[in-house]
Structure 1
């Protein structure tokens, strides 16, 4: 069980001192059986007038900061240490009725899963539908795990990853037609494809551990990362990272889950000034394995656009 450390630093720069509106920070990982938060801190400069913590509707931990000063820079510096339990060869204990696709969800689950099954993007010519169904056999049924793994790895093998600094998410039809996109674009395409097959899927934001920044192993490091969870009866919410072809949680540090990407922004806020005052931002994310395996205890305190 490796101990991973995350340094996430965001600096907003302005031409002259500006004042700031409320900022919401979502960089504290979710505690779970496969990742245990050991320590977390959040430093903000200039210091906020108030800083409070809350859980959003999805159970994500959010810090809310307000400010009463003006400045030319605004810095958020988060540091996290956690114990991570990777699943190198995940075998999901699916319920017997869900081992083969198609399957159905139980009536007790549908009220909670229905919004995660609904399509969120228009597909007038059913292009995403057709792409999703291309993974199905001409006759008979397919192992559910094989279906989802094939979709995850097809994106990794045949699509080109590009880091995008633009806000928001690319239309999944654009991603499908161009076969290019960022991690959040690939996540949204896979979510829509999975939903087209009647399965519940949700968006995940977090961090990617890539030892030595090895692009032969993973792409998408150096900033926040995005992937997908699919709800499978008997296994629950299972991780799929189409950017890197990862099935399971290996090298993935989960921070926030949401029905849509806009609900899982690591950092969002506003400033008061002219648009020309905005000089952009600097984002630094570094994920390393800690040499100190004796770090124990629980945390105190603890985002840029997804790339």
Structure 2
């Protein structure tokens, strides 16, 4: 899953995929969530497997997102309509055990003692709290950390933070789903963002009137600014960027290196050629 999703806020202009060794067959498909998936099979032996994906897209960032929520959803708590519930139900279900209701308690700590709270204010506070109070760690281990481990240790990777907030949002009765994609962070500026240079993960929450809205707890981002969607899924295991199997010796070394370089391209009016200024608001994933 390397090819970004084409949408109103990110228009895919060009995408290439070079695989070494050359696959015997390469086919494309859409999965159950509408993500574009390439499936490669091989017929030769090799000592190295390389996937090089080049993408050019037009990205429209929301610098100050204001969600046009339905009147009944402007404040929490709110409910989903009967026509939406059959499709949202699985995205509301909790996926991880919480026997002592620790994630529940953390989620409810953002609620006022009495009355209602603006929905956008609630979700923004939760998103920015992770950025302010948790420590980011780049983990190479397979899978996602248990949300309780993330909450108790106050540390984790981008996918760990995404899953923690997904479970917290679900604890409040809202639908959430996992997003895998790329992060635009010029010059890998840690003062601006963390998690660049590799694939990135965040979540979407379904809000009546606004639809699926982006939240990146790793960087405290509300809206799509600097976020390039590739795949969405109910569970992180359904949005693994690269997976497969091979036949080999038990002693074979399964090392892996991942590099993601996202730069901005600007077109010069006189020549139509592109330049790379290294900063700006319309990111383009280049490799």
Bin the TM-score by the shorter chain: over 0.9
User: Is 1:133–2:108 an aligned residue pair?
Assistant: yes
1:152–1:240 CA contact under 8 A, matched in 2: yes
Within the candidate set 118, 126, 149, 1:143 is matched to 118
The TM-score, its normalising length taken from structure 2, stands at 0.93
Which of the two has greater strand per residue?
1
SS at match of 1:58: coil
User: Is 1:232–2:210 an aligned residue pair?
Assistant: no
In the alignment, which residue of structure 1 is the partner of 2:144? Answer: 169
Supply the distance in 1 between the matched residues of 2:239 and 2:188 (Cα, whole angstroms).
Answer: 25
Within the candidate set 57, 70, 80, 2:55 is matched to 80
In the alignment, which residue of structure 2 is the partner of 1:158? Answer: 133
Offset, 1:128: 0.2
Supply the distance in 1 between the matched residues of 2:65 and 2:262 (Cα, whole angstroms).
Answer: 23
Supply the distance in 1 between the matched residues of 2:196 and 2:43 (Cα, whole angstroms).
Answer: 34
User: Is 1:69–2:51 an aligned residue pair?
Assistant: no
For residues 200-239 of structure 1, what are the structure 2 equivalents within 5 Å?
200-239=175-214
User: Is 1:249–2:220 an aligned residue pair?
Assistant: no
Supply the distance in 2 between the matched residues of 1:62 and 1:295 (Cα, whole angstroms).
Answer: 31
SS at match of 1:65: strand
Residues 70-93 of structure 1, C-alpha deviations (whole Å, 9 max, x = no match):
000000000000000000000000
The TM-score, its normalising length taken from structure 1, stands at 0.87
1:159–1:179 CA contact under 8 A, matched in 2: yes
Supply the distance in 1 between the matched residues of 2:147 and 2:238 (Cα, whole angstroms).
Answer: 18
In the alignment, which residue of structure 1 is the partner of 2:262? Answer: 287
SS at match of 2:260: strand
* C-alpha distance 295-246 of structure 1, shift in aligned 2 (>3 A): farther
1:29–1:254 CA contact under 8 A, matched in 2: yes
User: Is 1:105–2:89 an aligned residue pair?
Assistant: no
Residues 248-272 of structure 1, C-alpha deviations (whole Å, 9 max, x = no match):
0000000000000000011001111
Residues 74-126 of structure 1, C-alpha deviations (whole Å, 9 max, x = no match):
00000000000000000000000000000000000000000000000000000
In the alignment, which residue of structure 2 is the partner of 1:273? Answer: 248
Within the candidate set 161, 168, 177, 1:193 is matched to 168
Supply the distance in 2 between the matched residues of 1:274 and 1:258 (Cα, whole angstroms).
Answer: 34
SS at match of 1:29: coil
In the alignment, which residue of structure 2 is the partner of 1:12? Answer: none
Supply the distance in 1 between the matched residues of 2:46 and 2:90 (Cα, whole angstroms).
Answer: 41
1:38–1:295 CA contact under 8 A, matched in 2: no
The CA RMSD measured in Å over matched residues stands at 1.1
Offset, 1:295: 7.8
SS at match of 2:144: coil
User: Is 1:42–2:44 an aligned residue pair?
Assistant: no
Aligned residue pair count: 271
Offset, 1:282: 1.3
SS at match of 1:148: helix
Supply the distance in 2 between the matched residues of 1:95 and 1:233 (Cα, whole angstroms).
Answer: 5
Unaligned regions of 5+ residues in structure 1, if any?
1-25, 297-307
Q: Which range is displaced more, 265-274 or 164-173?
A: 265-274
Within the candidate set 86, 89, 105, 2:64 is matched to 89
User: Is 1:259–2:244 an aligned residue pair?
Assistant: no
For residues 2-17 of structure 1, what are the structure 2 equivalents within 5 Å?
none
In the alignment, which residue of structure 1 is the partner of 2:92? Answer: 117
